[in-house]
Amino acid sequence: MSLNPLPIHTSRFGGCTLTGALSVTTHIRNTASLVHGPKGCTHHNFSLLHATGLDNDIVTLPALVSTALSESDIVFGGEGALLRTLDTVAERDIDAIFVLSTCIIDTIGDDVAAICSREYGIPVIIVPTAGFLGGTFQNGVANALCAIAGTAAPCPVNDWVNIIGEKNLEYEVEENYAEITRLLGMLGIPVNLRFVHDIAFEDIGTLGAARLNILREPALLSVGDYLEQRFGTPFIPTFPVGLSGTLSFLEAVAEIFGITSHPAVEKELLLQTDTLAGFSDLKGMAASFDPAMSDPDGVKSFYEVAEALHIHLKQPGTNGVSLGPGTPVGTTGVRRMLHRWRRQLHA
Amino acid sequence: MVMKQIALYGKGGIGKSTTSANLSAALSGMGLDILQIGCDPKRDSTRMLMHGQFIPTVMDLVRVRGEAPITLSEVEFTGFNGVRCVEAGGPEPGVGCAGRGIIATFQLLEKFGALKGDVIVYDVLGDVVCGGFAMPMREGYAQDVYLVTSGELMSLYAANNICKAIQRLSSRTKSTCRLAGVICNAKNQPNEEELVAEFAKRVNSSLIQFIPRDRVVQLAELNRKTVIEYEPASAQAECYRTLGKRVMENTHFTIPTPLEIDELESLAYSYI
């Protein structure tokens, strides 16, 4: 039984809600993420965040604290342990504490909100993260983004954009961000806030200033809706994916800003033609890939690129090289994907 | 003799603790070594055996001591006629997880080697609200489960619900837990004994003892004693002794067949 519907439009159907939330909260500098639960929940996530962080050249350790609950805390309730840990962590020279619950906490019904509503001298922000409630990694990300957004007040709007919900654990997180800034740069639009990727706690106050929010992927629709409701900011539901997706992204952004997209689209089209021309050696080759492994937008972009290069895509399991999953962000994302394809097809 | 482990389940307030304490007292009178374990955070199961004393509970000690060791002598107390008494205890109402407290208590008692003697009587919280309170019915603990009920519909309803838990547990391959009988702790309704006997039959069991309502039970309680101790010559005391004898001689253990609610209601209706 699950009382919560699964997020749609994502390949990340599984995963731990807590991990998803921590992938967000640990990207706010000089804050602590307090995991209310047994030690293992924290250790496991610390290792995972540290390892994936190293892949992205992040050498700082994730600032996690555990309430380290034991059996008697479960029997008598974990509220005392939470209070003690919060008191200790609040003495550090940090800007905020995020409190993340675990499965066992929502099972025994600790009143986390009541404990967190006391005065600690710094903001204490609750992120609901009990995974057994049907949540996934993606729910954790969304819950964290909404909880953090709740600390920001509406403010005067500028002519910039926010980037919402970058996948901080993905290998190409910086490359994808660079591609978005390149595309926005063609339209002369700067980025207001990376919400949330390596920011200061006080930066969150500017969240409402952007004229447009760009979501990383459609699985974050609920976050886009929440931000629109709270700050009145419209949103584009996804980073540009594939060739035509990149062109329509430029058009959509330009339309919201009331500017023309023609010069940018023309320039980008030239880049795309140029990019494809560089991979003409793949023409006529046979390949397959498993659509079940990819996001729906990724699937579309795969077929589009294959068609443009006259690569014959066959059913998975039949002859031809099996191409790995991936969602190419922007034209440079397509180019990186084609480099991977070339390595696989010529292997 | 082989150690007998019995558990009493039933609706809250139906008289499980009174029946358990008197049963333990009666069994001890037969020269048996008895251990009674109260499995309810309310911790009042063994109070009459302990002459009104609320003994420290296992969970109280775990809470105070933390990691420091606890010994058996700190949680097991000797009451009336040598009956050994343990209270599981648990969290304050409204916090934590009482079910986990029961599991933790059982593990601790097992570690102590406390689960020994001729008979262990488990007196369990009224509603089997979660897995923790079904612990006494699990493998290695109580084999004989007795339902305590009156003829009132709500009490029968609770007993029927507990049948569902027993049915589920007893169908497991290694399970030795069986329904051993129904004890009618009467409210002095008309046709009450017949109704409860019929209920017992319908759930594939039998009425093992009818305990009439008697003022001596309240008087004994006010004097902080079991009936066996307070008025040993009374008919009520004899009734508990008969129950003890039947429990020891009982060989009729079944997998229960719980009733549908409609069937239960029409059964109760037919004995008005």
pLDDT digit string (tens) for A123-146? Answer: 999 998 987 777 789 999 999 999
d(CA A37, CA A68): 6
> What is the rounded average pLDDT of the residues A241-262?
97
Q: Is A4's pLDDT higher than 60?
A: no
Q: Is A1's pLDDT higher than 50?
A: no
A174: enclosing H helix or E strand: helix A173-186
Q: What is the pLDDT of residue A346?
A: 86
> What is the rounded average pLDDT of the residues A60-69?
94
pLDDT tier at A11, thresholds 50, 70, 90 = low
Q: What is the average pLDDT score of chain A?
A: 91
> What is the rounded average pLDDT of the residues B59-71?
86
- What percentage of chain A reaches a pLDDT higher than 70? 95
d(CA A251, CA A260): 8
pLDDT tier at A14, thresholds 50, 70, 90 = confident
Look at residue A151 and give its three-state secondary structure.
coil
d(CA B29, CA A307): 91
3-state helix, strand, coil in chain B (%, to 5): 40, 15, 40
pTM above 0.95, yes or no: no
Catalytic one of B4, B11, B60, B214: B11
Q: What is the pLDDT of residue B44?
A: 94
Q: Which residues partner with B183 through β-bridges?
A: B148, B209
d(CA A194, CA B208): 73
Q: Reply yes or no on whether B245 is catalytic.
A: no
Catalytic one of B4, B16, B123, B144: B16
* A83 near B CB under 8 A: no
Q: Is A45 left (phi over 0), alpha (psi -120 to 50) or beta?
A: alpha
Q: Sheet holding A321-322: strands in order across?
A: A312-314, A286-288, A321-322
Say whether the peptide bond before residue A196 is cis (omega within 30 degrees of 0): yes
Q: Which of residues 54-73 of A touch B (CB under 8 A)?
A: 71-73
Q: Which two tokens stand for residue A312?
A: 């014959």
Q: Tens digit of pLDDT for each residue in A276-333?
A: 999 999 999 988 887 776 777 788 888 899 999 999 888 777 667 778 777 899 999 9
CA–CA min distance B101, chain A (Å): 5
| Closest by CA position to A34, among listed A122, A138, A133 | A122
Q: Which residue has the higher pLDDT, A33 or B68?
A: A33
Calculate the alpha carbon distances from B108 to A47, B128, B163 in Å.
34, 21, 28
Cross-chain Cβ contact A71/B104 below 8 Å: yes
Q: Which of residues 33-62 of B touch A (CB under 8 A)?
A: 59, 62
| Closest by CA position to A234, among listed A264, A255, A261, A259 | A255
pLDDT tier at B131, thresholds 50, 70, 90 = confident
- What percentage of chain B reaches a pLDDT higher than 70? 100
DSSP state string for A320-337: SEEPPP---BHHHHHHHH
CA–CA min distance B59, chain A (Å): 8
Burial class (CB in 10 A: 0-12, 13-18, 19+), B178: buried
> What is the rounded average pLDDT of the residues B267-272?
93
Q: What is the pLDDT of residue A319?
A: 65
CA–CA min distance B42, chain A (Å): 14
Cross-chain Cβ contact B59/A79 below 8 Å: no
Q: Which residue has the higher pLDDT, A22 or B168?
A: A22
Q: Is A311 left (phi over 0), alpha (psi -120 to 50) or beta?
A: beta
> What is the rounded average pLDDT of the residues B174-198?
94
Q: Tens digit of pLDDT for each residue in A187-217?
A: 999 999 999 999 999 999 999 999 999 999 9
- What percentage of chain B reaches a pLDDT higher than 90? 81
pLDDT tier at A3, thresholds 50, 70, 90 = low
> What is the rounded average pLDDT of the residues B222-250?
97
Q: What is the pLDDT of residue A55?
A: 84
Q: What is the pLDDT of residue A13?
A: 58
pLDDT tier at A12, thresholds 50, 70, 90 = low
Q: Tens digit of pLDDT for each residue in B189-220?
A: 999 999 999 999 999 999 999 999 999 999 99
